[in-house]
């Protein structure tokens, strides 16, 4: 916990949860010295929160008896949205946030007016949320650390493993983190390669915030950068195909995110990277147009596999439909 504001809020949370807390307990919990704890108490008093203290060795702090924070002023829709967002963290590969999610929802239930608690209970009772099959679990600690480094303008260092299994140590100036296609990505200027790079956070280990500082480019647009660079981010398979489809229709039919589309010979040339080929092949088949595969060979094998499966499925339906009358299947 490095953010002073978060530490002040933690002090307030502890004071709310207990009758009294000693300065030593607060210092140990926050990993600071007693003088810093005193500054946090002063900050709370500056915010008109009545904190009482007892003097001497082993002195303690407490909220003035009877004091309660005012209820959160949320609309019914805001309470529902907040609860839904907390419960959706697994959808973006952050299942490790489950304990924090439960804690946050419990606090909301304590401070929200009774009428708004029903919105939280509604999400718990009737909304089912399950992560998709392509979502990759990511370290919550690494995500928080990366976001903190970006906000404070500090460099990051970490070990990185490519999809080919090659390991390297990297130092970067981080510009943004972004979630897309079931994965979290870290974008920044790599001091090791002296170029912009995009890293999958689930392939990062031993991530540490350094002491070196930098200035993040003003107006850096992570979405625009990813649209331009994502097709060429390292993946297990580099795909290059031509489809007999006008590029305008391709942009509407093929969900061109993470693809490079280029008009060619009356059709569209598609280049992109993918770790799995089955979904991509099925998407191409869905447009019902002629396809020319330039690479990789594994994509041809994937089409053959899908063709066999389609034949078997069709044959199975035919056999069932044409079974002679009077047979019992034994």
**CA torsion angle 55 59 64 70 (round to 10):** 130
Token code pair at residue 231: 């097709």
Phi, psi at residue 189, to the nearest 5°? -90, 115
| Mean pLDDT of the 62-87 span | 77
Q: Per residue in 13-61, pLDDT tens?
A: 888 778 888 988 888 888 888 888 888 889 888 888 888 888 765 678 8
DSSP for residue 163: T
Q: Per residue in 209-244, pLDDT tens?
A: 998 899 999 989 988 888 777 655 667 788 999 999
Euclidean distance between CA atoms 52 and 67, whole angstroms: 11
Euclidean distance between CA atoms 16 and 118, whole angstroms: 24
Beta bridge mates, 311: none
DSSP for residue 19: S
The CA-based angle 214-145-212, given to 5 degrees, is 25
Q: In the prediction, which pLDDT does 290 show?
A: 94
Confidence of residue 321 (pLDDT cuts 50, 70, 90): very low
pLDDT at 89 over 60: yes
Token code pair at residue 274: 């993918």
Euclidean distance between CA atoms 197 and 186, whole angstroms: 8
- The alpha carbon dihedral of 303, 306, 310, 316 has a sign of positive
3-state DSSP assignment of residue 288: coil
**Can you tell me which residue has the tokens 């928080």?**
144
pLDDT at 111 over 80: no
Confidence of residue 149 (pLDDT cuts 50, 70, 90): very high
pTM here?
A: 0.59
Confidence of residue 319 (pLDDT cuts 50, 70, 90): very low
The whole-chain average pLDDT of the chain stands at: 83
Are 294 and 242 contacting, i.e. CB atoms less than 8 angstroms apart?
yes
Euclidean distance between CA atoms 306 and 49, whole angstroms: 66
Confidence of residue 297 (pLDDT cuts 50, 70, 90): very high
Q: Per residue in 4-19, pLDDT tens?
A: 777 888 888 888 778 8
Confidence of residue 329 (pLDDT cuts 50, 70, 90): very low
């Amino acid at each position: 916990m490095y953010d002073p504001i978060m530490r002040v809020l933690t002090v307030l949370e502890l004071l709310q949860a207990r009758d009294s807390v000693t300065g030593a307990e607060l210092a140990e919990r926050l990993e600071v010295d007693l003088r810093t704890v005193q500054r946090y108490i002063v900050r709370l008093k500056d915010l008109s929160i009545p904190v009482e203290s007892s003097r001497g060795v082993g002195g303690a702090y407490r909220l003035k008896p009877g004091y309660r924070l005012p209820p959160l002023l949320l609309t019914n829709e805001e309470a529902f949205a907040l609860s839904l967002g907390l419960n959706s963290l697994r959808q973006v590969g952050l299942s490790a946030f489950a304990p924090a999610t439960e804690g946050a929802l419990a606090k909301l239930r304590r401070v929200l007016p009774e009428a708004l608690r029903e919105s939280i209970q509604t999400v718990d009772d009737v909304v089912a949320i399950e992560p998709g099959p392509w979502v990759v679990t990511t370290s919550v600690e690494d995500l928080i650390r990366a976001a903190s480094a970006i906000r404070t303008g500090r460099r990051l260092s970490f070990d990185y493993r490519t999809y080919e299994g090659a390991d390297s140590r990297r130092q970067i100036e981080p510009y943004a983190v972004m979630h897309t296609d079931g994965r979290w990505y870290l974008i920044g200027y790599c001091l090791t390669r002296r170029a912009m790079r995009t890293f999958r956070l689930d392939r990062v280990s031993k991530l540490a915030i350094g002491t070196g500082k930098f200035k993040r480019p003003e107006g850096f647009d992570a979405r625009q950068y990813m649209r331009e660079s994502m097709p060429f981010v390292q993946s297990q398979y580099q795909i290059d195909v031509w489809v007999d489809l006008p590029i305008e229709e391709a942009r509407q039919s093929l969900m061109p995110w993470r693809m490079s589309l280029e008009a060619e010979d009356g059709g569209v040339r598609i280049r992109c990277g993918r770790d799995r080929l089955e979904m991509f092949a099925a998407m191409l088949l869905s447009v019902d147009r002629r396809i020319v595969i330039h690479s990789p060979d594994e994509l041809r094998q994937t089409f053959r596999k899908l063709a066999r499966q389609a034949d078997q499925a069709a044959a199975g339906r035919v056999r069932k439909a044409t079974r002679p009358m009077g047979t019992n299947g034994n």
